[in-house]
Amino acid sequence: MGRPGCATASLSGSTLISRNPACLNGRAMLMIRVLSVEAGRDLTVYSRWLWRSGVAHRIAEESGQQVLWVADQRAVEFARRALEAFENGELEGLEEPPETSLAIESQGLFELLIKHPLTLALIALMSALALLSRFGEDPAWVHWFSFSDFEVVAGYPYFVPLQQSLEAGQWWRLLTPILLHFSALHLVFNMLWLLILGGRIEQARGGWLLLFLVVVVGLVSNVAQYLFSMDHPLFGGFSGVVYGLLGFCWFYSHFCPQAGLAQPRAVIGFMVGWLLLCFTGFVEMVGFGAIANAAHTAGLVSGCGLGAVLGYLHRQRINEESR
């Protein structure tokens, strides 16, 4: 990997506009080609800076080059100046022009819907279920989504053996606990991280990959939590998947930095620290409720594994194309 200033970037001399579906999320969308650099360059810091500045972009591999595409014409010149500053080691001193921040534009919500449909659909689905189930207090809703079916008798849930439910064709139970949330804080925390991590994956690598990760990590984390709570298998929440998405971004960006999935070290440190804190019992003691530590851990491990495998394969493909 080259250090800033150690390699020469080849800036595109003209602005190109493309509707190539590969430009963003696998969907046809108007994108602007800004510049290209050699495939071996590590653009993680540069890409992270663009995201922090509100510049929606995609770095794609084309003919042995990394090509930067942006979604806003106003961001073209800023992206070029940012690359020059990055190469000179002066990126942190570059002023962020407020006009490039899509977050404050009136069109921001529409663009969010276009670029993150699966992420927002998941948020809407889980929010609706939380309200309908009164955050897990209504067993008439909860029992359809719980890992093991149950019936409340005299205020206590009596669980149906999982094998019996599966033999009845209720296979959805292996996944649907990720949709349940038992408090407003629980829901908001998970939805914010889904928007941050899931939105980044969906925008950089596409909705099908995000769906694949949600299903696989959800299954793994649910089964792990069930095995650790078989005496009372009533659990739920998207946290295990959130940790899986974090692990995926973490390890994928390690093998393929130019994929646009890198997360700040502070974010990774906070989430891993929170995971370890939950194991101490302190979080439950201060009133956050029971914590599904097995789901969190299994989610993180499975996400890291998937990120490592897919990131490695992506890097191998880049190397083969650049030969």
What residues contact 229, with CB distance under 8 A and at least 6 apart? 235, 294
What residues contact 313, with CB distance under 8 A and at least 6 apart? none
d(Cα 190, Cα 111) in Å, to the nearest integer? 22
Q: Is 146 exposed, middle or buried (0-12, 13-18, 19+ CB in 10 A)?
A: buried
239 is an active site residue: yes
Q: Which of 57, 116, 143, 296 is catalytic?
A: 296
Q: Are 229 and 235 a contacting pair, CB within 8 Å?
A: yes
106 is an active site residue: no
Q: Are 174 and 226 a contacting pair, CB within 8 Å?
A: no
d(Cα 215, Cα 74) in Å, to the nearest integer? 37
Q: Which of 47, 53, 239, 253 is catalytic?
A: 239
The catalytic residue positions are 239, 296
